[in-house]
Amino acid sequence: MIRLFYSPRSPYVRKVMIVAHELGLAEQVEFIDCAAHPIDRDASIVKHNPLGQVPTALLDDGTMLADSGVICQYLDAMKPSSMFPVSGPARWRALTDEAVADGVLEALLLARYEMVVRPSEKLWPEWRDGQFDKMNKSLDAFERAAGDLGKRFDIGTIAIACALGFIDQVPCFIDIDWRTSRPALSAWYAAETAKRPSFQITKAERPAA
């Protein structure tokens, strides 16, 4: 059994759970309710992971696993699959796509904190816009590679889908139209998320506010 500190709307948690569902390991994951926050840090997470972030996993022997990428690799080690190619160009492509997609999520979270959490008198619009530029440049790169995305299913394509889903989910990003100028990426995302139950099961609804 793996105990997982989680937030139902965390895209990083979603990535872990998509991998768990694809590997048939979802029933071995026990969720631990928590309230991860960059300022009001949840002591129940910090007790195990000094970063206080979700997802954080606890194994039966007390071992702590931090970071969604590490947890996904642990799951894949339990039941090896093609989601983490073993070697060669396919491996580096998958891991690089995961890293860039996770970077998009980090930029979006930082932009969200700037827009929602930071006091209005301390807002720094140029810094926020810099985060959105990271997102846009990365999505442009994924658009150029969209023809390849449909030919594979690995940790890289999972991470990309989680990043796109997060944009759609968060209320303060409602005005971001990432699809119009990226038709190939949009078509891939729609097809990929429609055909895989793991994406539907882990989808979080957009909150009211």
Which pLDDT tens digit goes with each residue over 162-194? 999 999 999 899 899 999 999 999 999 999 999
Domain-embedded: residue 206? no
Q: What is the domain-level CATH number for residue 29?
A: 3.40.30.10
Domain-embedded: residue 204? no
d(CA 141, CA 177): 16
Residue 207 has pLDDT above 80, yes or no: no
Q: Are residues 41 and 69 in the same domain?
A: yes
Which of 78, 109, 144 is a domain's end point?
78
33-36: which pairs have CB atoms within 8 A and are 24 or more residues apart? Answer: 33/6, 34/5, 34/6, 34/7, 36/5, 36/7, 36/10
Domain-embedded: residue 83? no
Residue 140 has pLDDT above 90, yes or no: yes
Q: What is the pLDDT of residues 98-139, one digit of tens each?
A: 999 999 999 999 999 888 888 888 889 999 999 999 999 999
Q: Are residues 123 and 66 in the same domain?
A: no
Residue 138 phi, psi dihedral angles, 5° rounding? -70, -45
Q: Are residues 67 and 7 in the same domain?
A: yes
Task: State pTM to two decimals.
Answer: 0.94
Q: Are residues 162 and 99 in the same domain?
A: yes
Q: Are residues 73 and 104 in the same domain?
A: no
Compute CA distances 94 → 42, 66, 102, whole Å: 32, 20, 12
Q: Are residues 65 and 117 in the same domain?
A: no
Which of 14, 48, 78 is a domain's end point?
78
Matching residue, tokens 């996904």: 72
Residue 38 has pLDDT above 80, yes or no: no
Which of 57, 78, 99 is a domain's end point?
78
Q: Are residues 59 and 124 in the same domain?
A: no
Q: Are residues 43 and 142 in the same domain?
A: no
Domain-embedded: residue 202? no
Average pLDDT over residues 34-63: 91
Q: Are residues 187 and 105 in the same domain?
A: yes
Q: Are residues 11 and 36 in the same domain?
A: yes
Domain-embedded: residue 209? no
Domain-embedded: residue 19? yes
Mean pLDDT of the residues in the chain:
93
d(CA 154, CA 164): 16
Q: What is the domain-level CATH number for residue 121?
A: 1.20.1050.10
Q: Are residues 8 and 60 in the same domain?
A: yes
Residue 82 has pLDDT above 90, yes or no: no
Domain-embedded: residue 190? yes
* Number of structural domains found in the chain: 2
Q: Are residues 25 and 92 in the same domain?
A: no
Q: Do the beta carbons of residue 57 and residue 64 sit within 8 Å?
A: yes
Segments forming the whole domain that contains residue 100: 88-196
